[in-house]
Structure 1
Amino acid sequence: MSRWKGLPGELDPRVRQLVVALRRVKDRSGLSLRRLAARTGYSTSSWERYLSGRALPPREAVEAIARLGDDDPARLLALHEVAAEVWGRSPDGAPAPRPPAVAGEAVPEGEDPGTPSGAGEVPRADPSRSRGRVPRATLVAGAVALVAAVAAAVLLAARLSDGEETAAAPPLTGTSAAVTAPGTAGEPDRPVYTCRSERIDGRWYAGNSRTMKAILAKGHAGPEVAEAQCLLREAGLAPGVVDGIFGPHTERAVRGLQKRSGLVVDGIIGPHTWKALRE
């Protein structure tokens, strides 16, 4: 096994962990720096810097040395990802200078250190590493699109289910006191809701919606909210004006119903609160 020189004292512990792991893999491979450079496509001087903590190796170099050392690439890539986040930064998060280059540092004894690397050195490409690889961004984008499609399908199924429930419910008959939303000249198309409460098959309906599943919370609006407001009035609570807008008065009335019915008091109307409203 090669005898390695010490790493720079100012090196971040997370970078140090990656470098130590790469040194062990290199030792297990039994390759000299020259042979390692020939097998990976990265120059000898590049590997000198990678294995001495003076430069952060690219992901491709980490994968290449993992294959040669018969190691798990995922483990080394995880260490590389952590090291990349802190590379070139001091412990307090401010930019820090890279460790100084020291002649012969991190070069195993008996090996030719190779030609020093220049500022414009570009690693040689290894065609075998690029074949069949899918860009990371493509995988992430595909996963996001799949999640969005599943969520849209679930929402559509829920809406269709609610619509079928509405069609199957018995027609409402009978009348009760009508409560209308105050209209203004600037809102000619604002909906006007009425409460026509009637008990059918052991449940209360107010003529605006027959849902038992709609999730309503403060800020929502529509006929389902008006239905809940009518039923809250029927239950002896005060949701304010029946205008189909879930405001603070409606939320306070919902909390009162939930507390009275032994439900979770969160001010949100869900299936359990609907059941309490229609009982």
Structure 2
Amino acid sequence: MPRWKELPASLGEQERRLAVQLRRMKDRSGLSLTSLATRTSYSRSSWERYLNGKKPVPRAAVEQLSRVCGTEPTRLLVLYEVAQEARVSAGAGPGRAAGGTATAPAPAPAPAPETARAPDPAPPTTPEPASGSTPGPALRTVRLRTAFAALALAVAAAFAGGLFAGRAWEGADGDARGAYEKGRAYGCGDGREDGVRYAGHSRTRDAILDRGDDGWEVVEVQCLLRGHGFGAGAADGTYGDSTKAAVRRFQWARGLVDDGIVRPETWGELRK
């Protein structure tokens, strides 16, 4: 896999974190920039600019990249909101040009002669709200924006604390994996955690599966059946006739209702 370019030194810390996580997700999926362009509404050159920190990534691009990589986008969208808030705050300060570049302050105009100066007007005052009155819409908006920013920063800090300590991205039910490709044959692991068997594709113990289903949970069932000696052909994630027949044989051997439908009872036996 090609090595990523160094992110620009001028990139803000929050945007740098977002770019790093987007790169990791793209690498784990095994998709090239060209593949991303064909599966999303953004061109190859756009993805190159987003992932190398040359241009801020749009929210829609974050959502589409999560979708094609098979990842739940909520945590990435929190990082996106934090990065956007930081970018807006950096660009709104005095003495900054568009894009956040610092500029020299404009020279102050020379004071007029003393004889021509008019008395300074009194500064405008904002009346204090009466006791028990409701704050106006503007004040409520400021308070809501402040509360949202604080919440987003707290969630991002907790999220980043785990990710930047070396944890990989995880699937929706807690297992690290890339995007599922229908029709592809997958390898099977054979591990245990707290006495529970896992084949490395899903940790579910309550998904209901039957003929016509496909996905990571089906791959897990096919691998677990193979581990128990009830082969169902290739572990391709497609719940066809051969998989259903293998499930029925397994259920009959375990004293379960042998209808070929995987329910929590069947999962419980498969995980032993």
For the aligned pair, the TM-score class normalised by the smaller chain equals 0.3 to 0.5
Larger-Rg structure: 1
TM-score by length of 2: 0.34
